[in-house]
């Protein structure tokens, strides 16, 4: 049984928000309970079939990395009482995603290939190939949309629109570079390259605070380090672990989230393949065997573990 959607009524529950992947419960306007479902999204569209164990993979990877970066910046995370659940402090969100890229891949490559040489106000050098390492990592922010696609935005426009103060934006920039450095180091220890990722920040007691998941396959892209240089030299596709393979499958099946397009049907075999890729990344990143949780009464288990945690917190 996969977690497609939860409908809990928790003690102190003020509201619930069903995001693309997570169901987020506000408790007493003090804590957030994030349930990582098995939903999968691409091109800002939730695909119709859940991916078994995906939520567990995302939640456990995120918990590991959030714990590993508390020396870099404050973050929202308190504890993970269940394989699919994270509980943390409520922050006032800053409506900007800090996307950082170390390589010319994905959206950045599609922009570059179209002939443009500026992305979010950052000028890219001539003569680059897909998946080339950039001279230095670049930040290409995205303005978070209430609905639909997030939009590229430059540092200059963020400050001009007063979305956040220059001081706070500079803090977000510094945290983003430092977190990316840490993620890069941890990936390298496991034989992987952290290609690009995103971080979300908010304010907690007036302080810029890291929110949400970090360094998971939904928010990040990884290449295998072994053979990277040879594949680039030979013009071969990079071997990667990320959600990009799902996007590529959708594109090959004529779907990019545009109006009038229909999500292609996902076979049982394809769903199993996606599960396998997520588990592979978990085992590579964390260096331990993935333990599949018992899935027969998964919602009962999740709710029970949340209730126990809240009883101690409240």
pLDDT at 314: 84
Per-residue pLDDT at 80: 98
- Tokens linked to 76: 């929202």
pLDDT attached to residue 114: 96
Beta-carbon neighbour count of residue 267 at 10 Å? 10
Q: What would the two tokens of residue 194 be? A: 């952290």
**Comparing C-alpha atoms, which of 219, 159, 165, 167 is closest to residue 194?**
219
pLDDT score for 242: 72
Q: Could you tell me which residues are beta bridge partners of residue 220?
A: 197
Instruction: Please state, in angstroms and rounded to a whole number, the distance separating the CA atoms of residues 251 and 244.
Output: 10
Domains annotated for the chain, with CATH where assigned, are 13-89+284-313 (3.30.200.20), 94-242 (3.30.470.20)
Of residues 285, 306, 200, the one with CA closest to residue 241: 285
In Å, how far from its chain's centre is CA 200?
Answer: 9
Q: How many beta carbons lie within 10 A of that of residue 153, not counting itself?
A: 20
pLDDT at 61: 94
Q: Kindly report each contact of residues 115-122 with a partner whose C-beta sits within 8 Å and lies 24 or more positions away, as own/partner.
A: 119/152, 120/152, 120/153, 120/154, 120/155, 121/154, 121/155, 121/156, 121/157, 122/154
One DSSP character per residue, 146-208 reads SSS--EE--HHHHHHTTSS-HHHHHHHHHHHHHHHHHHHHHHHHTTEEEEEEEEEEEEETTEE
Residue 193, strand partner residues: 223
Q: What are phi and psi of 70, to 5 degrees?
A: -65, -20
Please give the sequence-ordered ranges of beta strands (E in DSSP) within the chain, or none if there are none. 13-18, 22-27, 31-36, 41-42, 45-46, 77-82, 85-89, 92-103, 118-119, 122-123, 133-139, 142-143, 151-152, 192-204, 207-211, 220-224, 240-242
Closest CA to 67 of 182, 145, 172, 159: 182
Residue 95 has phi, psi (to 5 degrees) of -80, 45
Helices and strands, counts by H and E, the chain = 8, 17
For the whole model, what pTM was predicted? 0.88
pLDDT (0 to 100) of residue 149: 63
Q: Which residue has the tokens 């290609």?
A: 195
Closest CA to 208 of 76, 71, 88: 76
Per-residue pLDDT of the chain (314 residues; tens, 9 = 90+): 799 999 999 999 999 999 989 999 999 999 999 999 999 988 888 898 999 999 999 999 999 999 999 999 999 999 999 999 999 999 999 999 999 999 999 999 999 999 999 999 999 999 999 999 999 999 999 998 766 567 999 999 999 999 999 999 999 999 999 999 999 999 999 999 999 999 999 999 999 999 999 998 888 999 999 999 999 999 999 988 777 789 889 999 999 988 889 999 999 999 999 999 889 889 988 999 999 987 678 999 999 999 999 999 98
Long-range pairs for 165-168 at CB < 8 Å and ≥24 separation?
168/94, 168/208
- The reported pLDDT for the residue numbered 294 is 76
Residue 236 has a pLDDT of: 96
């Amino acid at each position: 049984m996969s977690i497609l959607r939860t409908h809990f009524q928790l003690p102190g529950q003020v509201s619930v928000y069903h995001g693309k992947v997570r169901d987020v419960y506000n408790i007493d306007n003090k804590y957030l309970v994030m349930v990582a479902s098995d939903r999968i999204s691409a091109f800002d569209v939730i695909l119709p079939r859940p991916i078994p164990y995906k939520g567990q993979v995302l939640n456990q990877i995120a918990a590991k990395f959030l714990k590993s970066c508390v020396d870099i910046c404050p973050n929202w995370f308190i504890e993970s009482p269940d394989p699919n659940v994270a509980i943390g402090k409520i922050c006032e969100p800053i409506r900007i995603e800090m996307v950082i890229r170390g390589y010319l891949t994905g959206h950045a490559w599609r922009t570059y290939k179209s002939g443009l040489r500026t992305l979010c106000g950052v000028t890219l050098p001539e003569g680059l190939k897909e998946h080339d390492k950039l001279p230095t990592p670049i930040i290409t922010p995205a303005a978070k949309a209430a609905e639909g696609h997030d939009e590229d935005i430059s540092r200059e426009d963020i400050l001009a629109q007063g979305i956040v103060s220059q001081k706070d934006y500079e803090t977000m920039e510094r945290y983003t570079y430092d977190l990316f450095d840490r993620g890069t180091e941890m990936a390298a220890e496991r034989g992987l390259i952290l290609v690009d990722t995103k971080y979300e920040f908010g304010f907690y007691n007036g302080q810029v605070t890291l929110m949400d998941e970090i360094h998971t396959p939904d928010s990040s892209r990884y290449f295998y380090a072994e053979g990277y240089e040879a594949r680039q030299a030979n013009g071969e596709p990079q071997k990667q672990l990320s959600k990009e393979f799902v996007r590529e499958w959708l594109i090959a099946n004529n779907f990019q989230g545009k109006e009038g397009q229909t999500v292609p049907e996902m076979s049982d075999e394809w769903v199993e393949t996606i599960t396998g890729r997520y588990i592979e990344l978990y085992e590579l990143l964390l260096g331990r065997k993935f333990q599949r949780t018992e899935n027969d009464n998964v919602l009962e288990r999740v709710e029970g573990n949340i209730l126990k945690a809240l009883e101690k917190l409240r």
